[in-house]
């Protein structure tokens, strides 16, 4: 029987946001949240597939309005 891998400790969202190399912007949720997993999606509504505590990465292809990706390149 294989040994189980221990769970990874959560990372503070604030610590990820503070890392300038990641170039992250918080669009929703509290900055004090703990991140338990990371996913990438361009779905209009990925919420049915999220449990809570995830960092959702997106290029912003489907965003409109205030959360839309900028045109700077």
1 located within any domain = no
Is 4 contained in some domain? no
Segment 33-42 mean pLDDT: 92
| pTM higher than 0.85 | no
Residue 2 domain-assigned? Answer: no
Q: For residue 25, what are the contacts with CB-CB under 8 A and spacing of at least 6?
A: none
Residue 50 belongs to a domain: yes
Within 13 Å and on the Cβ side, how many CA atoms surround 20?
A: 0
Whether the predicted pLDDT of 66 surpasses 90 = no
Quote the number of domains for the chain: 1
Instruction: Flag whether 5 is in a domain.
Output: no
Residue range(s) defining the domain that contains residue 58:
11-67
């Amino acid at each position: 029987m294989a040994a189980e891998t221990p769970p990874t400790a959560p990372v503070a969202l604030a610590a990820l946001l503070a890392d300038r190399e990641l170039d992250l912007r918080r669009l929703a949720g509290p900055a004090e949240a703990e991140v338990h997993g990371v996913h990438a999606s361009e779905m209009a509504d990925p919420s049915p597939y999220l449990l809570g505590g995830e960092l959702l990465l997106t290029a912003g292809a489907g965003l409109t309005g205030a959360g839309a990706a900028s045109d700077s390149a």
